[in-house]
Structure 1
Amino acid sequence: MRAGTAGLRLSDAQRLAWLRLIRSERVGPTTFRELLNHYGTAAAALEALPDLSRRGGGVRGIKIASRPEAERELDALTRLGGRLVALGEPDYPAHLRHVDAPPPLLSMLGEEAIARRPAVAIVGARNASLAGRKIARSIAAGLGEHGLVVVSGLARGIDAAAHEATVDTGTIAVLAGGLDQIYPPENEPLLRSLVLAGGAAVTEMPLGWSARARDFPRRNRLISGLGLAVVVVEAAKRSGSLHTARFASEQGRDVLAVPGSPLDPRAEGCNHLIREGATLVTSAADVIEAISALIDDRPAEPPRHLEESEAERSAPMGEPDDAVRSRILEALGPTPTAIDEIIRECALDAGVVQLVLLELELAGRLERHGGGTVSLI
């Protein structure tokens, strides 16, 4: 069944294979999608990984998540009260599935239906002022009363204030680590209360994963992708909140910001966003007015080229020869290059180019960047 088909539910065996594939070495969301598109099922892609890595010039074997490892993660997630939601399933967040390279699997704890409601993200400074936390609570509460879910990152300061104000109306906490590795630890009671009240916690990271600095940008990308818009309340000039705003712009989301005193460094980021074109807001009414046309705009079905079927498929593409690989390697370099440009300049079938790029990536020789660009490592 196609992953874009309404009502898709993976079987237990398919879910286990999806989990093994995304937990395998060098397989990220984009690579996962390309593998599934090419091989049809996660099980078939898992079998192909060693050969792909070898063909790409890998000097050592690729680490593939084992079946027992995946089973242990699923069992532990079930004991925690959570579940894995796959891209294309009804409980997968509706707007997140339309971002560039959405996570194929999300670990979710809490109410499933909340992911289908329209949402707005609120982010801001961890060292927020009293005034900043107050306005964050006010905006969040007003959005909740209007029926909107509030999304944030469970961090200290603005994030926590936004969650606290919407425990009773619905809020989603996006984590940078596993569902059992809450950061900061003092917000664990807040997470428990919002989940018990009908909210949810989501992450793309496995159980037991402690968040590292490089995991927070991945989390911020999910925060912006889950909602219709991002509201920034207090943010320094260089902060994770501005990264979230940048992700929002790249994802086609509205960016809104609360202005602040030019004397407060925590307002510098918000004031900069407004100068760059973000919508100035000071209340929930301002936010609702800015996104009113989007609230009832139901997202379309996800792209229907992601496959997960045991049905008979056409014969797989043959292995590209060395001349083709050399031509593609010559087109690559340390500077990120658009895949479409490689296809055009090499005058090769898109499927052939994507297959060679998969080989190189699984061999540890290729890095993917935003906007469909790649570079040699």
Structure 2
Amino acid sequence: MIRALSEAQRRDWLRLARTENVGPVTFDQLIQRYGEPSLALAALPDLARRGGRINPIRIPTEAQAEAELAAGAALGARLICACEPDFPQPLAALDPPPPLIWTRGKIELLRRPTVAIVGARVASAAGQRFARGLAAELGEAGLVVVSGMARGIDGAAHEAALGTGTVAVLGGGIDDVYPPEHGELYGRICRDGCVVSESEPGRTAVARDFPRRNRIISGLSQAVVVVEAELRSGSLITARLAAEQGREVLAVPGSPLDPRAKGCNDLIRQGAAICEGAEDVLRALEGLRGFREPDRRFAPPPGPEPDDGLREKVAALLSPTAVSRDEIARAAGGPPAAVFAALVELALAGRAELQAGGMVAAC
């Protein structure tokens, strides 16, 4: 549901998104259940206690939320919540979308068709040359190039697309320039492109932030092109997320003698389209329809509340191996709405991890 938020609602939306143990799935479930972020915030302490939490759950104060908003404003950045009209449609179509993003620069680029180009940080000269050429040609065709502003392929793609439109998605805050040598590039993207981050301003990225960043890179894009990637790399995570999100995945084939080609060759082996130039990307995009936001209601009828017995039965069914929420509901034998409510309570207590795609695992 697209709607405008008052200043108080935006502050509460931010507080809920920054609450301990509230990820995108839990946030989405809470908004569907309570309708308003203020009502969800009021319910959080009791929900976490029922899930088995002993210590109070950490909820940002109004002053802390106001401080984050002020820090973003001082940078010239803008906060966009998932329900607001300017939230990028491709991200809104994710299930669930990130609750909010910070943006800096030309946000109108987020309304244009986009393609992600990602790849190795320690990239070959040939790989960087290919990324530059591909980004330039896609830009000339009217596409915005999205990447992660990392060394190597990312940086080459951004440089080539600055004149036609590029979006950099950061793992840290909207002002977290990494690597440091990309300071000038960052400044140029802020001026001529757009920078996007899910994290609060001033935050320095840590390892767990990059999968979230990769999800936004793929989520913003109609297609993801991997230029170079070893078998264990963040670029392959981006490609996997893109496939799960229904995006097109393309890979540039390479020599079997180069470890940086093994990831791309493996993607092709698994069904990714071969990319030898911009025409392959444009062909893959032919006939694609626009993104449609999932049918979400902000104030659904309340479902049955889980009792202690059902809640602990659900907790006992969880394991480190992720399974679907529907599978948990079948095994628990309770009403699905009550099982899903129990999972939210367990997540708030730090006993369950709600993942995208309806999956859940024990923490």
Deviations 1:71-94 (A, max 9, x none): 000011011001111113232121
> Does residue 226 of the first structure (1) align with residue 220 of the second (2)?
yes
> Does residue 59 of the first structure (1) align with residue 59 of the second (2)?
no
Cα shift at 1:268? 1.5
Distance 1:128 1:229 in 2: 21
Distance 1:376 1:287 in 2: 39
| Amino acid in the other structure paired with 2:163 | D
Distance 1:96 1:372 in 2: 17
Cα shift at 1:317? 5.2
Deviations 1:329-377 (A, max 9, x none): 3433444332112223334333211221111111111122343222333
Distance 1:211 1:178 in 2: 7
Distance 2:269 2:331 in 1: 39
Cα shift at 1:30? 0.5
| Amino acid in the other structure paired with 1:303 | P
Cα shift at 1:31? 0.5
Deviations 1:98-127 (A, max 9, x none): 223221100111112111111000001111
Cα shift at 1:323? 3.1
Distance 1:237 1:179 in 2: 29
Cα shift at 1:298? 2.1
Corresponding residue number in structure 1 for 2:348: 362
Residue aligned with 2:177, SS: coil
Distance 2:295 2:92 in 1: 12
Whether the 8 Å CA contact 1:168–1:194 is kept in 2: the answer is no
| Amino acid in the other structure paired with 2:54 | V
Of the three residues 99, 103, 106, the one matched with 2:98 is: 103
Deviations 1:101-156 (A, max 9, x none): 22110011111211111100000111111111111011101111111010000001
The two structures, once aligned, show a CA RMSD in angstroms of: 1.7
Structure-1-length-normalised TM-score:
0.92
Residue aligned with 1:165, SS: helix
Is the alpha carbon distance of 1:284 and 1:334 closer, same or farther for their aligned partners in structure 2, counting shifts above 3 Å?
closer
Whether the 8 Å CA contact 1:33–1:306 is kept in 2: the answer is no
1:12-27 map, 5 Å: 12-27=7-22
Of the three residues 308, 316, 329, the one matched with 1:322 is: 308
Deviations 1:47-77 (A, max 9, x none): 1111111111112111101100000000110
Whether the 8 Å CA contact 2:304–2:337 is kept in 1: the answer is no
Whether the 8 Å CA contact 2:318–2:352 is kept in 1: the answer is no
Cα shift at 1:318? 6.3
Distance 1:280 1:289 in 2: 11
Distance 1:257 1:225 in 2: 17
Corresponding residue number in structure 1 for 2:324: 338
Corresponding residue number in structure 2 for 1:292: 286
> Which runs of 5 or more residues in structure 2 are unaligned?
none
| Amino acid in the other structure paired with 1:287 | V
Whether the 8 Å CA contact 1:86–1:104 is kept in 2: the answer is yes
Distance 1:230 1:68 in 2: 39
Corresponding residue number in structure 1 for 2:338: 352
State the identity as a percent: 53
Distance 1:35 1:29 in 2: 10
Corresponding residue number in structure 2 for 1:269: 263
